[in-house]
Amino acid sequence: MKICYLDAFSGISGDMTVGALLDAGAPPEGVLEALRGLDTGARYEVEKTSRRGIDASKFRVHLGDAPKKHRHLSHILKMIDAAPLGSRAKQNASAVFEKLGQAEAQVHGVPIEKVHFHEVGAADSIADIVGACVALDLLGVEELHLSAINVGSGTVETEHGLLPVPAPATARLLTGKPVYARGPQMELTTPTGAAIAATLGRSFGPLPPMRISSIGHGAGDRDFPQQANVLRALIGEKAAVAESTVVSVIEANIDDSSPQVLGYALDRLMEAGALDASLSPLQMKKNRPGVLLRVIAKPEDQEKLAQVIFAETSTLGLRIHSAERRVEERTIVEAETPWGSVRGKIAGHGLFAPEYEDCRAIAERTGTPLAQVQEAARAAYRKSK
């Protein structure tokens, strides 16, 4: 399966997306020919440039003297449907605009049919969205993945006046997605870029396992002194290798909570979404015995889990740091025991690890020793193989 990973360390916009995909190998003439079929009267250009010494492609839309039009969603969808595009590109481009329309409708408190698209209704933004979808189609990309997105900070001037960054529609589109602000105080992620990411992105986070075949950089309008203003696209085949993810490790040294309280805290942390939680004995200052509470969490869950620790234990402080977590590729299968079905994990070494909760439920229901249920599940799996 061919996948694309967009590294939005300097934000994402529609033109940066098109430029990055063209730079990564999408045929320029195929993309530009499809855009001419939109019949917007615009002229399109791709030029090589550099941002902080990084070679990149800049996608430009020239409107001439034609004024920017404010279009409704229905008008844009008709333009896309009438254009000579592949069915997949049409479907994706329409889905992006529908997602964008929903966000604008929520921001302004009006039905989606009455949304005027303002800046994103202009020919250049239509070209950005359609161009990105056509480029992905021509590259044969089946899945789009993205990094956490740098949205920028400060304010941005819009047709609605001065607004905080991320702009309201951008914030709506990226709800639930990992975002952050770093670098110059300006808008780094536009509503158009956010709509592409939110609609087509399969996942957001570290680079997925893949064999990279091509790399491209799409240039933004400005050249910043502190970072390369580019969107990086990595194209390649999905690889079946150990999954590498970034996690947050939350730790606390505790010497004045009872074992019952600490055991309850572990249960609460796992229920709240911790990937793992453990207690280890340690000798603390003044020779007091204590425990080390360690929680492994998804970065987006760290604040929620930190609050659980403060609420359920006596600690007054936490240590939080990032770490890399390697997870071997695994599949879930079922084994039929004399007492019922037991799920289990199969990893790269081929061994079957029966699910504890399934085995425990059978043991409690039948009165069979837990170890006997687990061994029966392993034997049933071996027999099925």
Q: What is the CATH number of the domain that holds 272?
A: 3.30.70.1380
12 and 61 fall within a common domain: yes
360 and 296 fall within a common domain: no
pLDDT tens for the chain, 385 residues: list them: 999 999 999 999 999 999 999 999 999 999 999 999 998 888 999 999 999 999 999 999 988 765 556 678 888 999 999 999 999 999 999 999 999 999 988 888 888 877 766 554 578 889 999 999 999 999 999 999 999 999 999 998 877 788 899 999 999 999 989 999 999 999 999 999 999 999 999 989 888 888 999 999 999 999 999 999 999 999 999 876 555 678 899 999 999 999 999 999 999 999 999 999 999 999 998 889 999 999 999 888 999 999 999 999 999 999 999 888 877 777 889 999 999 999 999 876 778 999 999 999 999 999 999 999 999 999 999 988 7
Inter-residue contact 313 to 265 (CB < 8 Å): yes
216 backbone φψ class: left, alpha, beta (φ>0; ψ -120 to 50): beta
323 and 341 fall within a common domain: no
150 and 279 fall within a common domain: no
For residue 298, the Cα-to-chain-centroid distance in whole angstroms is 13
52 and 109 fall within a common domain: yes
Angstrom distances, CA of residue 12 to CA of 43, 64, 138, 280, 372 = 22, 25, 21, 43, 55
pLDDT of 121 reads 54
Phi, psi torsion values for 67, nearest 5 degrees: -70, 155
194 and 288 fall within a common domain: no
Domain that holds residue 253: 244-327
Q: How far apart are CA 226 and CA 51, in angstroms?
A: 11
Listed in sequence order, the residues at least 6 apart from 23 whose beta carbon sits closer than 8 Å to its beta carbon are: 56, 57, 216, 217, 218, 233
pLDDT digits (tens, 9 = 90+) for 29-66: 999 999 999 988 889 999 999 999 999 999 999 887 65
262 and 315 fall within a common domain: yes
147 and 250 fall within a common domain: no
Residues in the chain: 385
